[in-house]
Structure 1
């Protein structure tokens, strides 16, 4: 019964009405869902396994898309310089890109929200230190911070070790670059909430400050944080692609969308355009869909725009 009433409330909510009344948002949600489903189910839905060296055939290298002259129906989007199926590589590459983007945003949200909550709730020198660090970091482009951290990891770690943990190096680099936005939003919400009556009442009855901050103040910050996280997810995916394109991200043996674009770029002007164009289109469509969802969520959670 409770599940039915919950579903009925969701169906009659302003957010659901806003979602279904926006065709662009519905399309963006479907596209995003398809990407996530394709990434999760890549080992089962991909026509080939681009990581299986035994299945690769160099004689299939540079095969055009199926509809082009010289194309093969077995490779819908063609093959790359190693004979890997481009469609399969995109599915596996999307998996890597989405994994890095999601993990980086989780790290950014956790770090930024906790620091912003602590800064807003405690105030004083804690707030000054945290917010000045955030202000300093915001003056430096996120991609430059990620490049710096990745470069330090490459100097400190042996190459074989770095290649093995490249995905986690990227997660730390990108995640550290985006925490200030979450810290500033959480601090602003905390400052607006911490002097309200329900917080003062909790203090009077002896509820510990940490519990007040986490159980009572923090839930009021989740709306803005969720909006920023959705938009920052697209930026994190683009940041990963940029790092991989520059050759400091994922190795060629573990292709992400950025790695595939970098590999294809070497053959772009020799006529094998599909190796770079299709991964690039996949990246653009994914980023656009996630951004559109973030824009809708921002408007849907803003009571002034309802």
Structure 2
């Protein structure tokens, strides 16, 4: 006998939007725990993150994508390619449109791209994110604007930070999935490896303080894990950036290490020792071989 109820639904949902529209925060809220790093800087998400949302009636496999943008580097081009590849063969699209920003040309461009690339079976749901940042009157106007933007299957205001309407969005998406047994184990939350999650938590810890100086020039790799000791390298593109990451007397690097270690310990549910080293990998965003070595 199966361990899922009759009429169980499961499928893939691609979460899209311009950079910094709340995609990763919404993904984490739907899952119920952190699987994607967040910051208030565009281009924080550099990978296609598969997150698993488990509910009694169904399972959603969320594909959280990098924000589509006009690329300035080879890395930017590859991030855009990830978004395009992710749009194929999904059962629904969630397009994130912030409540506190007007619809812009980037939104219209992305909507046009989504409409071209997704299959006819896929519903497009508008999630009006960050609804807690505006008052009711402004939210009502924004919902009206979004409704007129396209023939969305649903328009749902959500606040991932506050948890408002997150469950409603999950239910509406599950209703649009095909009947299917679970596609992942029922206790899974992501298909990312622990090593990948560790590197992302280190990058998130660094971005928190260094967001204005070098958010796009920073990459993180694991050198080795020996027992509970984790050795990690932070890669920057110039010597001047190395000094910024290390800080006066190593103070900045220490702050990053302490913050990242706490996040990694929550992830692994155990104490760890974290060693960080800063390396200059010159102009890595524009060099295909260097990007490959850094995991892109």
Global fold match (TM > 0.5): no
Over alpha carbons, which structure has the higher Rg?
A: 1
Could you state the TM-score of these two structures normalised by the residue count of structure 1? 0.22
Could you state the TM-score of these two structures normalised by the residue count of structure 2? 0.23
